[in-house]
Structure 1
Amino acid sequence: MYHRQGLASPFLTVFVVAIVCLVITPSRAADTRQKMPVERPNILFIVADDMAYTDIGAFGGGDIQTPTLDTLADEGIRFSRFYAGAQCSTTRAMLMTGVDNHRAGLGTTVGAYSQPAANQLGKPGYEGELRSDVITLSTILQNAGYYNVMVGKWHLGASKDNKPSSRGFDQTFAMQQNSDHFDDQLGSFGFGHRDYWRNGEIVEKLPKGFFSSRNFTTEFIKYLDQRDKAKPFFGYLAYTAPHYPLQAPEDIIDKYQGHYDAGYDDLRSKRIKGLQASGLINKEAKHSLFRSDVRAWNTLSDKEKQRSARSMEIYAAMVDDMDQNISRVLAYLKSKNLYHNTLIIFLSDNGAEAASAQRGHAPALLPKARNLDNSLENMGRRGSVVLYSHTWAAAGNGIFREYKFSGAEGGVRVPAVISWPAGGLAPRINHGVTSVLDIMPTVLELARVEHPTQTHANAVYQAPIGKSLVHVLMNDTDSIRSESEYLGFEFWGGRGVVAGDWKLTGLYDQDTETMQAWQLFNLATDPGEQRDLAKEQPVVMKQMLSYWQDYVTNNGVILAEPNVPALRKPQKTFLESTVK
């Protein structure tokens, strides 16, 4: 996802950066270390699944009750320009390995509707699971004496060697990908079967009354309570809320009844105003327009309005319920005197999901469900498959364009918060370009642990390519990247590059299955990506395109044929040149 322009080799990049850190800036590094607590911190990752940018009150919301996340944001650092992947597994791959998802093996994801294209099959980086030449953060921390716990969605491979129990976690209760949120273990569209694993072994039956967010939290706290008290812990709590099917427990499902009767037009207006007031974006910034396929709320029939509003009510209940369960975890940490020295990192894995009965995979998959009851009375309850559609997703993303799977801001810019009481973080908003790739280097530095590539000249693993945020956390700098350092991303043809305020975007049209022409935007004034400057800024456009080509070469990106004639010719990528 990231590469420094001008250095021919990723290995040279690592070497040069290491020399710069050791020779040029020893006093700065020493000053930073003096600010850090002597005791190694506990580490807690909390990841939401498909949560929209403005769902949290601290990120412009307010219609959903999220007091726990709001408090974390108020006491820590909110990142206004934090980039993840455009889809679940891409983000999780980068979070856990510190390398671009293509290099980690998740150039595409797995499943009947997401197999690699013909020209991607068998290519390094398109295995659909973590590669053997990437080492997970959990493995490194485990080797360094941490007690590690993982609960929730894994999505990085279901083979024996790729389950979380084989990737550095001491205790796990996990699943490969999404399921019905109750104990049915049905797939997300109401059919099939999803396995849960406890420490790598299949769980035969879920407990009665199971609901994902609540039981994940119970399992997580139980595992933390079993820890070796002499060790710091690393906890990875990966909720499947609010990913579809939208479902909620009986005691909360009706909490937001009537709250969204004014419709998604009204909600989007409120979210945009909240986002502008939050300080996260420029108040004068342009925002995206509704897509042409979003019908105005006042053109819907009463029945359509009722069902649509109900889907958003259930979604809100899921986010609310997740926030309450995060509160349970934090309360536990406080009761055990662990909270003060726990580095907490919260993020969503991508932008809002826009699936509906009319677009995406849903039209082909929903008819396969048996005994489906999507009546108004049963929406959000057992046996229903509710999707809140691109209409509410657009409202949730507020100012930003497009949704999950897209390289536009609405697909890859996500809410992210870091809190660490013992670290003395000054509560604030950070506007620097940051990435999920930066998490591993940050955690390793704070935990005083080196990556194997730093300690072994002939390490078999790929080195992390993100940048440590420690100087940002310590308030030594506002940005870890210069204007000439870029982030690149691609998934299913949705692609883009960010460098400073500039954004190069190439969207993939799911309806026509074609890649659209490149567009250039200035995110400082146009975060909604509305004014294409490709022709007005030819010099910038040329530079951004060179960044894209650099990203493709260094990360083994292969765009699916037949849409990209320029990439049909076989080329030796970074991965192919390093794999024995």
Structure 2
Amino acid sequence: MLKRTLWSTLGILASSLVFTAAPASATDPSPPRSSDRPNIVLIMADDMGFECLGANGSLDYQTPHIDRIAREGLRFEHCYSQPICTPSRVKLMTGQTNKRNYVKFGKLDRKQTTFAQLLKSAGYRTCIAGKWQLGSELDSPQHFGFDESLLWQHTRGRMDNRKRDTRYPNPRLERNGTKEDHNDGEFSSDLFADFLCDFMETNRDQPFLAYYPMALVHCPFCPTPDSEDWDPTSHGSKTYKGQPEHFGDMVAYVDKIVGRIDQKLSDLGIRENTLLVFTGDNGTDKPIVTQTRFGEVVGAKGEMVDAGNHVTCIAKWPGVIQPGRVTSQIIDFSDFLPTMCDAGAAEIPARLPIDGQSFLPVLRGIEGQGRQSMFMWYERNGNPKKAREFARNQRYKLYGDGTFFDIEMDRNEQSPLQSLTDDQKDIQSMLQTKIDSFANIIPPQAR
């Protein structure tokens, strides 16, 4: 069993994957679908750090639905993304370190293979709803394995001709490649949830993957339909950041949508064999300061420090995951692809240099078989000359330049360790070996 740390006591609720198997109806002569071929629903909040959830110690925000899902499932205390959105999405969808395949912000190399393509090849129906930001080609979602899509920031930019952000009230979207403008007081999160729920209902009798990379809670911070100052005639914020005082309402709306999707699975009768994973793509944005049971947390999106990439991961799978479990097993975003393929019996071709490890055994209650450390390589635009890298376990972090931190005692990395104990020397050596194992990979821009 890995040592429990301060972070272990905090818990992380940041990941929402749903794997579902639909039982046969009373009139259906076919046998129930096996639980080893579950449906998969993955929900990922945008810019919502681990400190935003009640189950993780937040004192500022209420997240009753996600907290309940954590009580009914498994909460990971140590899940790590990348510091910002596109790098996280590339790592999540391909199962590879950014050092291997990240080309630039807003782009996924079309030669890459995603979890959607692999699951589709294994017989899954697939859809995506939410924020895309992985290439502006008209066929990008379908090229990367999604049968159906409802997306913001696909071929259309973030702003409209009125210089207003188009992602939240009366949004500007694309449904299966067709432009779709809303002008009747719609809110994008409701449209995305409607789309996913309809997809799940249509495909309830076959294996499906539903991936929801949320637009919430990325700035501009704005009212939601549940806010007192909600304006159904608004066409988006005129400023990039918006108004930070609305951040709490946006967190609450994430919780509401996650609860709605979880309830829809129950209403469809497919909840029992469904793995629901909720996560976040990176830390909270920098204007946001959150009070928690473990102290004040300043948002660190875009940074390598813990608050920039230590994210929530919660998994619920009735009948498979024992309720109320908490694990200190360390995972990172490269692990999601092999885990989903493992659960869905989807073959990963030998030609793919997957860096992730399946955490399906942990979901099933088997501890101690996962990774001992994780590796991160990061530069917003993929420039290898500016990139930084580190390896870490649950407590210690070693950067490529040799700087070594005890994160449990120094969360903001203010005081590098100097005089080391024998145990710390052993951990430092282990983490250096992890960094060295990626040394021969040539980043795309350096090839």
TM-score where L is the length of structure 2? 0.78
The structure that has the greater radius of gyration is 1
1:223 aligns with 2:120: no
- CA separation in 2, counterparts of 1:329 and 1:134? 29
Answer yes or no: is 1:109 the counterpart of 2:105: yes
For 1:431, what is the secondary structure of its paired residue? strand
| Counterpart code for 1:487 | F
**Structure 1 match to 2:148:** 171
1:548 is the counterpart of 2:407: no
The amino acid across from 2:199 in the alignment is Y
Secondary structure of 1:410 counterpart:
helix
**How much has 1:160 moved relative to structure 2?**
3.5
Q: 1:496 is aligned with what amino acid?
A: F
Aligned residues of 1:523 and 1:529 also touching (Cα < 8 A): yes
Name the aligned partner's letter for residue 61 of structure 2: I
2-structure distance, mates of 1:215, 1:247 = 17
Whether 1:200 and 2:177 are equivalent positions in the alignment is: yes
Q: 1:49 to 1:174 in 2, by over 3 A?
A: same
How far, CA to CA, are the matches of 1:423 and 1:181 in structure 2? 44
Residue of structure 1 equivalent to 2:315: 418
Counterpart of 2:340 in structure 1 is 443
- CA gap 1:64/1:543 in 2 versus in 1, 3 angstroms: closer
Cα offset for 1:197? 1.8
Aligned 8 A contact 1:254 1:314 in 2 = no
Q: Residues 183 and 207 of structure 1 are in contact (CA less than 8 Å); yes or no, is this contact kept in structure 2?
A: no
Residue 349 of structure 1: aligned partner: 281
- Report the residue type matching 1:220 in the other structure: L
* Counterpart Cα distance in 2 of 1:487 and 1:215: 36
Matched, 1:497 2:391: yes
CA deviation digits over 1:291-329, x for unaligned, max 9? xxxxxxxxxxxxxxxxxxx94541000111121122221
Aligned with 1:232 (options 193, 207, 214): 207
| Structure 1 residue 100, shift from structure 2 partner | 1.6
The 2-side partners of 1:184 and 1:207 are apart by 14
> Which residue in 2 is equivalent to 1:340?
272
Q: How many residues align?
A: 393
Say whether residues 1:520 and 2:404 are aligned partners.
yes
Pairs within 5 Å for 1:375-414: 389=287, 392=289, 403-414=300-311
Q: Which amino acid aligns with 2:62?
A: Q
- Distance in 1 (alpha carbons) for counterparts of 2:126 and 2:358: 21
Task: Label 1:131 to 1:182 Cα distance change in 2 as closer, same or farther (>3 A).
Answer: closer
Query: Aligned to 1:432, what secondary structure does the other structure show?
Result: strand
CA gap 1:547/1:402 in 2 versus in 1, 3 angstroms: farther
C-alpha contact 1:488 1:496 (8 A) present in aligned 2: yes
CA contact (8 A) 2:221 2:243 kept: yes
Deviations 1:72-120 (A, max 9, x none): 11111111110001110111111111112342334x314xxxxxxxxxx
Offset at residue 491 of structure 1 (A): 2.5
SS state at 2:42 partner: strand
- How far does residue 396 in structure 1 lie from its aligned partner after superposition? 11
CA distance in 1, matches of 2:344, 2:54: 31
2: CA distance, partners of 1:182 / 1:160: 19
Residues 402, 409 of structure 1: 8 Å contact kept? no
TM (norm. structure 1) is 0.61
After TM superposition, give the deviation of residue 207 of structure 1 in Å.
Answer: 4.4
Partner of 1:295: none
Provide the C-alpha distance between the structure 1 equivalents of 2:269 and 2:220, rounded to a whole number of angstroms: 37
Residue 354 of structure 2, aligned match among 455, 464, 467:
464
Return the offset for 1:496: 2.5
- Matching residue within 78, 92, 95 for 1:95: 92
Structure 1 residue 452: Cα displacement: 2.1
Alignment of 1:129-278 (within 5 A): 129-161=107-139, 163-176=140-153, 186-187=164-165, 196-203=173-180, 205-227=181-203, 229-253=204-228
Cα deviation 1:489-518 (Å, max 9, x = unaligned): 322445422145320247xxxxxxxxxx75
Given that 2:51 and 2:297 are in contact with CA atoms closer than 8 Å, whether structure 1 keeps it comes out as no
Could you say what secondary structure the match of 2:118 adopts? helix
- Structure ranking higher in helix proportion: 1
Give the deviation of 1:184 after TM superposition: 7.8
CA RMSD of aligned residues (A): 3.4
Q: Partners in 2 of 1:141 and 1:189 — Cα distance? A: 29
1:24-54 deviation line (CA, Å, top 9, x unaligned): xxxxxxxxxxxx9645111010110000221
In 1, Cα distance between equivalents of 2:319 and 2:223 = 35
Query: In proportion to residue count, which structure has more strand?
Result: 2
3-state SS of the aligned residue for 1:150?
A: strand
How many Å apart are 1:547 and its aligned residue?
3.9
1: distance between equivalents of 2:255 and 2:78? 22
Q: CA deviation at 1:181?
A: 11
Q: Which one-letter code corresponds to 1:474 in the other structure?
A: R
Residue 400 of structure 1, CA deviation: 6.1
